[in-house]
Structure 1
């Protein structure tokens, strides 16, 4: 009886403890979920925290009135991050493009390449249109005619490069004469004045003659084209090229391992990059009040294009939520904001697109290096705003032809814009030369470029990432259609075989006396034979 009572009591006690156990398990599961979330997003949290801490650190150190040498020492950890990211660009771009081009067959490579180029051109043209429209609506240069480089204490920026030579340099850089030199130098046209003879009234005649020089900076455009063509060539070799393709694949994977190590240094480096930029600022209040409308128009254009236009294009192609796709790319966006370099953001972008968003490696490693070189949506917006701003500053009324020239030139010249900080300023000079405007006001753009360039780079890399997502979706759909087509073809072939087998069995019935006799005698035995014959052959 006591045993029974104790059992009942024990059972009752067990029942009374059930809610406590369930609450405890719920608490544990919530804690586990929280730990999993932090573990998965630790790098993102650290990177965003690095930016916020960097802003606070910069504001504190700014009041210490550091010397130029001390500022350099303070910026050293950030400089190391930039150097690490730039170090990895060359092997990453070359190896990823070669392995990407070699892994795709020529037909799909041509199709994907065509879609990618169309996407880049269309989005850049839309971005240019947004920039021009906002500049005419906001009118940043109207009433700012008194604004010049002297009252802001800025140095003049000279640019005497012809528009035709700028585009010829773009074509020359596509085909570098020396691949080794292309890793650290690019072709640039310079000018010299030579005496060509005497005039009719005794004056001397001089001519400006273009000649080629080398400028510091990687010729990424030439390397991209070479890597793509080389990858296609290896694919064409077949079995002979397999060894080299495997070598570049292994090189690529090893480079991505290095990238994963560098990414853990990113939060620390970003903290000092942002902090040092705040310390180096001159009179930011005067610049913002003087050029506030220009800054506002540029950043508003970036918000519209990056927050509305690009996500809508992605949704139109994939019917998927673009913001859930972009939420996996917070680390590269933060890196882009801090470094102001599309090329430097490429390593982190590749890793996050593949791991967080599940984009096929062949697609991402083929399209992202090209996008980092030729797709500059953010740059196109601020260049168009800057061109219209300078026209308004000089009281020049732009006609329809000049507006069209701005759109086309900004779209075309953004292809050759360097993926480095302040790389777009040179492109603005090309646009100004094309529409016949003076370039002496470029220093105004350079003064606030460090503000605008941050949102510019974020929009640039966002366009690349969404392009990779769209291409991945198109490729998945094509593969699905191909599988369905193959499956349908197999079913059709099976059906044909089945029909042939039934026909053969019937033919045997007609010619064989034994079967005929069985058929007359027992129809059920014939049905069994017919069925067994079909099944055995199939």
Structure 2
């Protein structure tokens, strides 16, 4: 006997409180009488998708190692990777409607005061966790010293073809971040973002011999969804709909329905995830020419990055969650195995967003208004895992070039990694360009970034898992704070009502105006109950 609990806007299965005790006992006896086979079948039905997803990763490793020995041509590798490419295309297809509709409906369901407090708590959480992650990364880089003694490491000996051509000035990188917050064309923002380019202009007179050249920044549009601009627009548009009152209800209902339909599509796509993941992992193993050489040559860097992810994701973030909620963080995370596996395989926090929203609501009972408001923002601005590997990469390249970093440069790495991770694209290898910004800020060459590209496919997997874990635990913390505030407000309302009843009775005995007082009490209580819709 289950029903959907929608009091706080989230779905949670629970036993109806009006059930007779005898009926509850009967259900308990039926559960106890299930055979081991029936219990196993029930377990499979509940956890089938998780089991299939993990099996897809293991199967991909096996298939990839087997196909590596077949010496496929590049065309054959493309055909082999096609099922995995289809998964990425489906996930990217659903990102735009999911982000926009979920944020609009989430912002419209919260009043302005609640939205301000909720947004403030979220930004504070994202900022503090990213700063902690950057500090852990720099400490590990100076302890492990991945670049010390590796000066002979030559990219040519590794036969690396990937290069990063990014000569953008640091100030222009931050100005582009601000420009992308306010896209000039919302339709174009769905598939293009703003980026500064440069052109050289001659100044002076060539005949007089005083000709000089000046590099002038110019605007250009590059391929890639401007998630940051869409997020800001969706939040502000949702607030505007809320301000309209009754006139905006129809449009709010439209976006709510659109959002629910999108989640149905997500549930269908989830059943293709195990197949797509298997070929994504397998094709990546087939593409690498010499995995052993890369891992041994850059082993310290890989080890430092993954260790930083383990410390932050396995110790720091769970401790923060426990500190706020006094609940077991690992039982909370156990309901999110499918999104974590998807993050590990796709290396994209944006592509993981659909499955994360579905699982955190269905398995963990997080309020829909909170999850669909916070998670899209977190997928854009909260990049703890990216901050870790970016800081380690910056120190690694400094050690590789025998550059001693001073306190000012270390502080610059901390601040730049934290700030630039806000604008990092939630796509595979999206953080590599951000490393170029950090290197430019501290005056280091960017030509060694091809080393990062060579092993990014390894490090980026744990990076994405930590990114989405931080988003999930943040949503859990905000949900807990919201629940506590609601309980506190409920207790205050109960106290006020209990104290008001005796006062009314005493006035009934002495005052003929009591009927007018009673009429004023009841509606006020009703208004108070309606105001409980969101307390944050």
Distance of 1:131 and 1:236 partners within structure 2: 44
2:184 equivalent in structure 1: 177
Partner SS state of residue 41, structure 1: helix
More displaced stretch, 114-123 vs 146-155: 146-155
Structure-2 residue corresponding to 1:145:
151
1:85 aligns with 2:88: no
Q: Quick one: distance in 2 between partners of 1:412 and 1:200?
A: 47
Aligned residue among 51, 60, 67 for 1:54: 60
Distance 1:177 1:125 in 2: 31
Q: 2:76 matched to 1:37?
A: no
Residue 508 (structure 1) aligns with? none
**Which one of the candidate residues 73, 77, 97 is aligned to 2:79?**
73
Say which of 126, 130, 146 aligns to 1:124: 130
- The answer for the alignment partner of 1:439 in structure 2 is 446
Q: What corresponds to 1:16 in structure 2?
A: none
CA RMSD of aligned residues (A): 1.5
Which among 366, 374, 379 is matched to residue 372 of structure 1? 379
Tell me if 1:254 matches 2:280: no
Measure how far apart 1:157 and its partner are: 2.4
Q: 1:408 aligns with which of 415, 422, 425?
A: 415
Q: How many angstroms does 1:504 deviate by?
A: 4.8
Counterpart for residue 20 of structure 1? none
Alignment of 1:165-314 (within 5 A): 165-198=172-205, 202-314=209-321
Match of 1:476 in 2: 483
1:343 to 344, 347, 350: 350
Greater helix content: 1
Are positions 1:465 and 2:472 aligned together? yes
Residues 1:384 and 2:388 are matched in the alignment:
no
Provide the residue aligned with 1:428 in structure 2: 435
Deviations along 1:262-296, one digit per CA (max 9) or x if unpaired, are 00000011010111011111111111111100000
Deviation at 1:34, TM superposition (A): 1.5
Shift of residue 28 of structure 1? 3.9
Aligned to 2:403: 396
Give 3-state SS (helix, strand or coil) of 2:101's partner.
Answer: helix
User: 2:154, 2:337 → 1: CA distance?
Assistant: 38
Alignment check: 8 A CA contact 2:164 2:433 kept: no
- For residues 289 and 27 of structure 1, the distance between their equivalents in structure 2, rounded to whole angstroms, comes to 55
Distance 2:378 2:150 in 1: 36
* Runs (5+) with no aligned partner, structure 2: 1-29, 513-536
CA distance in 1, matches of 2:133, 2:376: 20
Structure 2: distance between partners of 1:258 and 1:132: 42
Structure 1: gaps (5+ residues): 1-23, 506-538
What is the aligned partner in structure 2 of residue 110 from structure 1?
116
Q: What SS does the aligned partner of 2:157 have? A: coil
TM-score, length-normalised on structure 2? 0.88
Q: What TM-score comes out, normalization by structure 1 length?
A: 0.88
Contact 2:228 2:423 in 1 (8 A): yes
Match of 1:417 among 408, 424, 434: 424
Shift of 1:460: 0.2
Q: CA-to-partner distance for each residue in 1:427-470, whole Å, 9 max, x for gaps?
A: 00000011111111111111100000000000000000000000
SS at match of 1:189: strand
Partner of 2:17 in structure 1?
none
Q: How many residues align?
A: 482
Deviations 1:47-102, CA, capped at 9 Å, x for gaps: 00011111101111111000000000000000000000000000000000000000
Structure 2 contact 348–427 (Cα < 8 Å) conserved = yes
Q: Which has the larger radius of gyration?
A: 1
Give the superposition deviation at 1:146. 1.3
1:499, distance to aligned residue in structure 2 (A) = 2.5
Q: Distance in 1 between matches of 2:31 and 2:494?
A: 48
Cα displacement (A) at 1:202 = 2.2
| Counterpart-to-counterpart distance in 1, 2:134 and 2:235 | 28
- Give the Cα separation in 2 of the matches to 1:159 and 1:455: 25
Give how far 1:152 is off.
Answer: 1.4
* Counterparts of 1:392 and 1:198, CA distance in 2: 45
Shift of 1:199: 8.7
Residue 500 of structure 1: CA displacement?
Answer: 1.6
Question: Matched residue of 1:421: which SS?
Answer: coil
The 3 A distance-change label for structure 1 pair 246 and 164 is same
CA shift, 1:490, in A, is 1.3
Equivalent position SS for 2:481: helix
Distance (Å, rounded) in 2 between the aligned partners of 1:28 and 1:36:
10
Q: 1:199 to 1:400 in 2, by over 3 A?
A: farther
Q: Return structure 1 stretches of 4+ with deviation > 6 angstroms.
A: 24-27
Cα separation, 2, equivalents of 1:354 and 1:28: 29
* Residue of structure 1 equivalent to 2:170: 163
CA distance in 1, matches of 2:76, 2:196: 37
Deviations, residues 169-198 of structure 1 (Å, cap 9, x unaligned):
000000000000000000000001110115
